[in-house]
Structure 1
Amino acid sequence: MSEEDNEPAFEARVMAFGNVNFSSMAENSFNEAQKIIADYNAGELIDPEPKLRHALNMLLNVFWVAKDLRVPISKQMHSIGAALHEDYGCALEFEDGFYFTKCPNMLLHRDFGFSMRGFEKYKCSICDMDPVDCDHRSGRKYSGVECKEFAERCNICNDEISSCSHCLGETYDDVEAVKLAYVTEIVTFDVVKEPECPIARVTKIPFSKQHIANSISEDPNFGLFEYGRTIINCDHCVRCSEYNPAANDEPWSNR
């Protein structure tokens, strides 16, 4: 098999920082997304595209946590995706020699997750240092804390910096120091249907060169295609309207 035919590796989140209340996270994400959608429907969004894409990320949190709501949430997500496709297009990104997507509407169809066990060490949520060496004490609240990013994590709320409301460089009060665990040596790593950490999922889907070639082979402009330079738009939400819970059941059945 040539290098061009190799399947590129996907990326995934395998753990969450701190003591995350996933039910609260899902509720807050849902409310934030619904506010954006309501404002969009009322014509009150000045710059709709980034806000609607943010709403999709929020709804993906809900999708993973609220299992009983996955189908209706997915319908809403695909409806947003169809509107984004019509108004702005949904171009695949390109990095390290491969086209890829981080679109929530694609990620939700990879409905498996990851379970990891290993040896842990700890760090302070505020300064990212070993709690033994830093000036903060777990459980105490501190004022005048500058918002910083550590490994894509916000040190104010411990959520991903891309999805929280805090601003880098600004200072905040009543910030609680939390002792965060991180894995230094993996003992077991399993692919599971429903992981203990519900957001331990695929976060980036790359496409092999062969997949791209097959996908555009019948396009009348195929001869003008330049790999890595030509923009490829995804039309998933035009062809798909919702999540099918049974689509990937076979690997998890006992038959």
Structure 2
Amino acid sequence: LAASLVGVLLFSRLVLKLPWTHVGFSLLFLYLGSGGWRFVRIFIKTVRRDVFGGMVLLKVKAKVRRYLQERRTVPILFAATVQRHPDKTALIFEGTDTRWTFRQLDDYSSSVANFLQARGLASGDVAALLMENCNEFVGLWLGMAKLGVEAALINTNLRRDALRHCLTSSRARALIFGSEMAPAVLEIHASLDPSLSLFCSGPWEPSAVPAGTEHLDPLLEDAPKHLPSRPNKG
């Protein structure tokens, strides 16, 4: 059909030298006569949905642009949401039906930020995160963002050389992994930088994690839950 339309267009303009209005009607009749009316019918049925989706996308892009200009980061926007809806559900993990409110997520992420700061990480540093989907994953990422630490999100499907390469190239100072990923970390532990701090979140079994790994969960429980200060790195 596309080739036919192009052929009619070229023939009408170059050979018959018809005006554009006549060419347009010719193409329309050819299109409808070739079954193109189905496209028109679908277009009429979906145009409202498509226009609505396009408007939503434009609004989102405009908001993102404004937030960037105003330097309103995710932690700043999240803090405003916590103030408006502290007890509203923020996260639901379908695997266990675990629910966190915005206040709980705020407290957890602030504990993460304060803990990492106490361990010497600062704005601009990198911490790797190797964990299956769960509420803690979001809280850990948000806590890093509050401190200005860059999160290197490692694909949980990676193993051995690929996993080692990602960790090395990320230049992470710390690796936080879920207990479900302990076997993968054990496989490459001997070849990792000895200065890399290791923290495990989830069910704790000392014999199942690399030597020197610390259990993160009780450490976060003892960490302050206020928003940490962010001194300049140096």
TM bucket normalised to smaller: under 0.3
Structure showing greater radius of gyration is 2
TM-score when normalising by structure 1: 0.23
Which gives a bigger RCO, structure 1 or 2 (Cα 8 Å, sep 6+)?
A: 1
**Which has the larger helix fraction?**
2
**Which has the larger strand fraction?**
1
